[in-house]
């Protein structure tokens, strides 16, 4: 019986492996079509399309996304190698609204809502950001603002990642509107626009008294401040900056915008200060009179020891100051003079306790000369 059992078990084994083989064969047979999927291979032809090409030509009228011609004005802002002074597309009210929104998100931390360069982080010690209401920036072409956003400038980072070219232009247009708003008169407001007094807005929105006072630009603040405390440094006088400048105008813009019917954007951005109490608008930024001779004396006394009486400096250690205003801008110089450059090699000292705001204005008058 022992031998009989062996034979039986061998037959059983054979039967089992045959069944196993059958299962394998039948199941693989089922998957055959999945191994044979019709598809296109890159750079290889096909018989599927009549033209034999597997890569299909673009549908007529296809619009490129996030690309476009990198050499176009939209992307460069340059015309014949110079910053252009026009928009690559129409600055409609929608474009300005978009610009305002983007500006308020990306630029206000440093430039403030009104663009006077004393945003919150500047008040907390960051380099003074540019005041857009200076003669230089008011006469700067639109393409300049586009270029600064695209490439950054000095201590200002670039915004080319955060803002599409279209958005950068929208922000540039909005900055121009901010600038124009400072010289707006009643005549600029379209008929039928609702104009509210600051007092009424403040009462309705429960805003403090300081809201109704006109804001001061970085440049004009010093005149009222004592000589010993150079108010030009927002870092040393955060109270002045916060109570009379940055905090109220945003509310103004917001309140005005929300209470007017959506008219031309220029009217929306008209500072209520100009349209309220006084019928004659007072431009907030008045460029102070500068005494160039006094500025030269200040220069010779304080700066010439390093930057040389001729302003030629001692490159590469001490930079020349000839043409420095065009190169880095007045705001930068103001900042450098008040805070110094402690990280410089050698460091440049701060003149905050030596020079008043008037002194610095006169000094800038001198540095502006050829
Ligand atoms: C982190 C702070 C910061 C932010 C945010 C910022 N800026 Fe600036 N910006 C500066 C500083 C600082 C300067 C002065 C740079 C210098 O002169 O070195 C400046 C200068 C400028 C200037 C003056 C250029 C000139 O010719 O002097 C323009 C225009 C400008 N910024 C536009 C913008 C716009 C538009 C935005 C928002 C998209 C923006 N900035 C966001 C810090 C900032
Ligand atoms: C003790 C020497 C010294 C004195 C005094 C001095 N500076 Fe400077 N200044 C420097 C040095 C060094 C640098 C370059 C620092 C660096 O960037 O590393 C510099 C840089 C500058 C810059 C260039 C900033 C830039 O962004 O390119 C300006 C503007 C400037 N100084 C203005 C002045 C003015 C105005 C005075 C007088 C009120 C003055 N400096 C006095 C040493 C001095």
Is pLDDT of 73 > 50? yes
Report whether pLDDT(241) > 70.
no
User: What burial letters (b/e) apply to 219-252, b meaning 16+ CB within 10 Å?
Assistant: bbbbeebeeebbbbbbbbbbebbbebbbbbbebb
53-67: average pLDDT: 80
What confidence tens digit (pLDDT) does each residue in 178-228 have? Answer: 999 888 888 888 888 888 888 888 888 888 777 777 665 444 333 333 333
CB 331 within 8 A of CB 128: yes
Q: What's the token pair of residue 61?
A: 């009228």
Write down the pLDDT at residue 26.
Answer: 60
Taking every pair of Cα atoms in the chain, the longest distance, rounded to a whole number of angstroms, is 130
pLDDT at 110: 93
Distance 328 CA to ligand 2 centre (A): 12
Q: What was the pLDDT predicted at 215?
A: 63
Q: Tell me which residue of 198, 306, 210, 217 sits closest to 259, measured CA to CA.
A: 198
Q: How far is it, in rounded angstroms, from Cα 22 to Cα 274?
A: 93
**In this prediction, what percent of the chain has a pLDDT beyond 70?**
72
Q: What is the pLDDT of residue 58?
A: 85
CA 37 to chain CA centroid, Å, is 51
pLDDT at 13: 67
- Which of these, 89, 133, 99, 101, lies nearest to 114 by C-alpha position? 133
163 compared with 273, residue with greater pLDDT: 163
For 22-35, what is each residue's pLDDT tens digit? 766 665 555 567 78
Average pLDDT across the chain, whole number: 76
Smallest Cα–Cα separation from 156: which of 118, 130, 194, 189?
Answer: 130
Q: Whose CA is nearest to atom 3 of ligand 1?
A: 110
Task: Judge if the beta carbon of residue 333 lies within 6 A of ligand 2.
Answer: yes
Stretch among 136-150, 259-273, 319-333 having the lowest mean pLDDT: 259-273
CA of 59 to the centre of ligand 1 (A): 42
**Ligand 1 residue neighbourhood (C-beta within 6 Å):** 106-107, 109-111, 126-127, 129-130, 145, 148-149, 153-156, 159, 171, 328-329, 331-332
Q: Is the pLDDT of residue 272 over 50?
A: no
User: How far apart (Å, rounded) are the C-alpha atoms in residues 57 and 128?
Assistant: 52
The answer to whether 129 and 218 are in contact (CB under 8 A) is no
């Amino acid at each position: 019986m022992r031998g009989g059992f062996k034979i039986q078990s061998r037959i059983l084994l054979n039967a089992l492996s045959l069944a196993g083989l059958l299962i394998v064969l039948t199941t693989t047979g089922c998957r055959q079509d999945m191994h044979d999927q019709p598809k296109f291979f890159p750079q290889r032809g096909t018989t599927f399309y009549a033209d034999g090409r597997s890569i299909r030509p673009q549908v007529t009228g296809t619009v490129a996304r996030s690309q476009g011609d990198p050499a176009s004005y939209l992307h460069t802002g340059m015309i014949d190698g110079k910053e252009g002074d026009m928009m690559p597309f129409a600055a409609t009210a929608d474009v300005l609204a978009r610009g305002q929104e983007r500006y308020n998100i990306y630029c206000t931390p440093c430039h403030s809502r009104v663009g006077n360069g004393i945003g919150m982080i500047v008040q907390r010690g960051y380099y003074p950001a540019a005041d857009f209401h200076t003669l230089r920036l008011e006469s700067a072409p639109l393409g300049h603002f586009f270029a600064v956003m695209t490439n950054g400038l000095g201590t200002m980072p670039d915004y080319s990642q955060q803002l599409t070219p279209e958005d950068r232009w929208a922000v540039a247009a909005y900055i121009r509107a901010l600038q124009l708003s400072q010289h707006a008169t009643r005549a600029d407001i379209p008929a039928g626009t609702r104009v509210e007094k600051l007092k009424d807005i403040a009462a309705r929105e429960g805003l403090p008294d300081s809201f109704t006072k006109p804001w001061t630009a970085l440049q004009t603040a010093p005149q009222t401040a004592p000589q010993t405390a150079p108010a030009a440094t927002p870092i040393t006088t955060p109270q002045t900056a916060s109570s009379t400048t940055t905090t109220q105008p945003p509310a103004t813009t917001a309140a005005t915008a929300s209470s007017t019917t959506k008219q031309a954007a220029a009217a929306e951005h008209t500072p209520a200060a100009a349209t309220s109490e006084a019928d004659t608008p007072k431009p907030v930024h008045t460029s102070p009179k500068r005494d160039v001779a006094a500025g030269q004396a200040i220069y010779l006394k304080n700066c010439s020891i390093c930057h040389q009486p001729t302003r030629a400096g001692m490159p590469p250690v001490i930079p020349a100051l000839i043409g420095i205003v065009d190169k880095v801008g007045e705001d930068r110089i103001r900042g450098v003079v008040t805070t110094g450059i402690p990280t410089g090699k050698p460091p440049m000292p701060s003149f905050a306790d030596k020079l008043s705001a008037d002194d610095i204005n006169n000094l800038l008058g001198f540095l502006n000369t050829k």
